[in-house]
Structure 1
């Protein structure tokens, strides 16, 4: 991690990158808007807001502070961060409530599609001097009946040992610690990487002001991000955390689930660690 990246990974820069990624993703989607659903959801949201104002006797000073803060969220480009940290985990909970297979959790703002394609056993792109504890992450992809899914696609991305993501902090190689791994004929994969670090969400913008004002902490526990898919099956988006890791019990994004905890063990090669996690995909 360069000093440039550490000094320049600002909320505004991160927010701009996250906003651009989201807009690119939305361009490929077509959405038919159900006016009755819009009416119901917006009406209930406004009614809930009105109820909060009445119950807590919100003053004009508080209202103006909220208005100023909402404007600042937009100017800082932090709507993706705000929504992904404090809202997405409930949307994901509803979306996955009927799933029989592996548990999902939030995608977050740092996914970038089309990471380099890699074979079933691969090392993620990284610099020769990449800091961090070497980690072997392996597992198998199968369906709910236990049948392996050959050539399943395992997209993986993660923060580095300093807590920064490539393409969202300057000074990092474009695809650092990002890859698209294709499982072998039995659905197995082995990914050589480094153990990520916990990281603070950007706090120099509007979201940071909210965190400070509410007396919260801004930390996310160390985790691996994954999207796992196979033809004829539902894509699963998830994050995997590390047993005993900092902030696993009080994640700012409320995204940790017991089923997503990894249990690292030594490989016998120095400080290297290994973990295993098998994915089960529902039929589409």
Structure 2
């Protein structure tokens, strides 16, 4: 039986005390957010007639989620990362800051401190199995002029879907590099073709996704930060066309403009020069940055990240 209590004086007074609105200490912004959050949660409990068993099951799940350090994995699976991008796109549009390469989610597996190279880099450590990949492109401004000295920060998984640092079978910064573009805005990287990955099958994220009838898989993809003083920082990633999950990414990161063809090539000169073991995939991804006079937009947003710098 559903009873209505949310608007009673007792509950409204409780919400104010929970959020600290009855005192002049603490952080006003946190209080504002907490009051809204608790009001909405209390209302959900009332509207959906949440039982004590259901509530405590959810509370215990949050303990487990934190213990497994999967909150940053479940967040994109529940659309939070993509929703934040939708909001940032709308903010940009509202101030006329449109165009350029689209943003998409960062994901939870960036590591600061990757080696920096001028123009060209080898991303793998030389002992990483997988098909060779020649990844390259040009960084331009919105007028089509090349941007020399832009930093192209790239990271991706290995052929088993594992990311270095988090996957201890790889060297610590394997498949992570920063490349500074040449005078014509070009960057080049010799790497291996990444694989997509799935959430740990017995993990906390999959518990929720399975209850929703959803899978927890990501397509083969390559992450990018691209930056240059005077330009808006870009967080994006490309999906390789043809993957089973290219348009069915559990993290909702796919954007049509960011699906890139990988072309098979057997150029003997390239095979010899870059030590490819036969046929490799050629992947071209060109980037357009938007100029800005707002220095705040030149920086990536703040969040907890691993740093080996």
Normalised to the residue count of structure 1, the TM-score between the two structures is: 0.81
1:54 corresponds to which residue? 46
In structure 2, the partner of 1:258 is 256
Structure-2 residue corresponding to 1:146 = 144
Q: Which residue matches 1:242? A: 240
2:226: which partner in 1?
228
Note the C-alpha offset of 1:234.
Answer: 1.2
SS state of the match for residue 63, structure 1? helix
Within 5 Å, give how 1:193-208 maps onto structure 2.
Answer: 193-208=191-206
- Cα displacement (A) at 1:122: 2.2
- Structure 1: which 5+ runs fail to align? 1-32
| Equivalent residue runs for 1:6-155 within 5 Å | 35-36=28-29, 38-86=30-78, 87-97=80-90, 98=92, 99-128=98-127, 130-155=128-153
Equivalence for 1:15: none
The answer to whether residue 284 in structure 2 is matched with residue 276 in structure 1 is yes
* Structure 1 position 204, deviation (Å): 3.2
Instruction: Determine the C-alpha separation between the residues in 1 that align with 2:35 and 2:256.
Output: 35
Tell me whether 231-240 or 96-105 shows the greater mean CA deviation: 96-105
Compare 42-51 and 229-238 and name the one that shifted more. 42-51
More displaced stretch, 68-77 vs 254-263: 68-77
Residue by residue over 1:152-200, the C-alpha shift from the partner in whole angstroms, topping out at 9 and shown as x without a partner, is 1000000000000000011211111110011100101111111110101
3-state DSSP of counterpart to 1:181? strand
CA displacement at 1:268 relative to structure 2: 3.0
After TM superposition, give the deviation of residue 108 of structure 1 in Å: 0.9
Q: 1:3 matched to which residue of 2?
A: none
What residue is the counterpart of 1:17 in the other structure? none
> How much does 1:46 deviate?
3.2
**Matched residues in 2 for 1:274 and 1:83: separation?**
32
Contact preservation (8 Å) 2:77, 2:216: no
Residue 170 in structure 1 maps to residue 171 in structure 2: no
After TM superposition, give the deviation of residue 34 of structure 1 in Å. 7.8
Runs of 4+ in 1 over 6 A off after TM superposition: none
Match of 2:189 in 1: 191
Matched residue of 1:91: which SS?
helix
The alpha-carbon deviation at position 44 of structure 1 amounts to: 3.6
Q: What CA distance in whole angstroms lies between the structure 1 residues aligned with 2:38 and 2:185?
A: 47
Tell me which structure has the larger Cα radius of gyration: 2
Contact 2:264 2:279 in 1 (8 A): yes
Checking the alignment, whether the CA contact within 8 Å between 2:181 and 2:187 is kept in structure 1 is yes
CA RMSD across the alignment: 2.0
Whole-Å separation in 1 of the counterparts to 2:100 and 2:36: 32
